[in-house]
Amino acid sequence: MRIALVTGRSDVAHQEETDRPLVEALQRAGVDVVEPDWRDDDVEWADLDLAVVRTTWDYTGHRDAFVQWAQRVAARTRLVNDADVLRWNTHKSYLLELEERGAPVIPTAWMARGDGVDLAALLAARGWTRAVVKPAVASGSDGLVRVEEDDASRSAAQGHLEALLLEGDAMVQPYLPAIESDGELSVVVLDGEVSHAVRKRPRPGEFRIQEQHGGRYAREEVPRAVGDLARWIVAATGVRPLIARVDLVAGDDGTPQLVELELTEPDLYLTLAPDAAERLAGLLVARALPSR
């Protein structure tokens, strides 16, 4: 059996470390594991039993090409997650659909490419004293800016928003202070079932929780209510993705708010949960088996 864990042209060392437990688990199961770049035109995708999108973290600058690539690959072999899921999930407007279905999405102001927006007026109309501005197609904290109450911060954020809207769609959300104390809880859901969770906290004085910004990660038990919410959010998509990560942060009233539903290329924090790597390997092997 030959399974591809599809990568991109980002930080190769980080990518290899991220999926090392999964590679080793698949190899123990007798799988021939390859890690091709999604933009490598020489890859014979039809020769694979399964292609799993894993660390294609560079897709955000090439979303249209990535979506087209997924459709081509899905016509040649099994693809995880499905091409239609990847198209839907690579633009954050999917949050609008989830909100309509009842998911506790952080309140969001949406802007389309080319829009002219007075950020200060927007914040005043929404009653938001602090906020975050980010692109609608992004990975991690790329393009994320916090807006404070002072004039200098708002002026800088206005310029940032205008620059984003020259290139694509953007979004503005209220800033949730709990990110600094409680951080973000990522709940990993594999084939519809909660696998594990990781708490990601920023370093002191920072609000971005990614490791490159000094964030600290630790595995955490999943409270039953949070696990139920994570499963419900994934089910609200109307499909059953094999791989999902639900990112939650506490709102002002302490209830979980949905930051992201990552169905495209989520870091699953398998180095903190090697048992999950074994479960995922089993699911992938089962998915790669020929249909009977």
β-pair partners for 249: 257
For residues 271 and 250, give the distance between their C-alpha atoms in angstroms, rounded to a whole number.
25
User: Per the residue annotation, which of 260, 262, 265, 278 is the catalytic one?
Assistant: 262
User: Per the residue annotation, which of 87, 201, 245, 278 is the catalytic one?
Assistant: 245
Q: Please confirm, yes or no, whether 17 is among the known catalytic residues.
A: no
User: Do the Cβ atoms of 93 and 108 come closer than 8 Å?
Assistant: no
Q: Please confirm, yes or no, whether 245 is among the known catalytic residues.
A: yes
285: left (phi over 0), alpha (psi -120 to 50) or beta: alpha
Task: Establish how many alpha carbons lie within 13 A of residue 272's alpha carbon, considering only the half-sphere containing its beta carbon.
Answer: 18
Q: Which of 72, 78, 208, 217 is nearest to 139 (CA)?
A: 208
Q: Which of 5, 11, 9 is nearest to 210 (CA)?
A: 11
Q: Please confirm, yes or no, whether 262 is among the known catalytic residues.
A: yes
User: Per the residue annotation, which of 149, 203, 216, 221 is the catalytic one?
Assistant: 216
User: Do the Cβ atoms of 45 and 51 come closer than 8 Å?
Assistant: yes
Which positions are annotated as active-site residues? 216, 245, 262
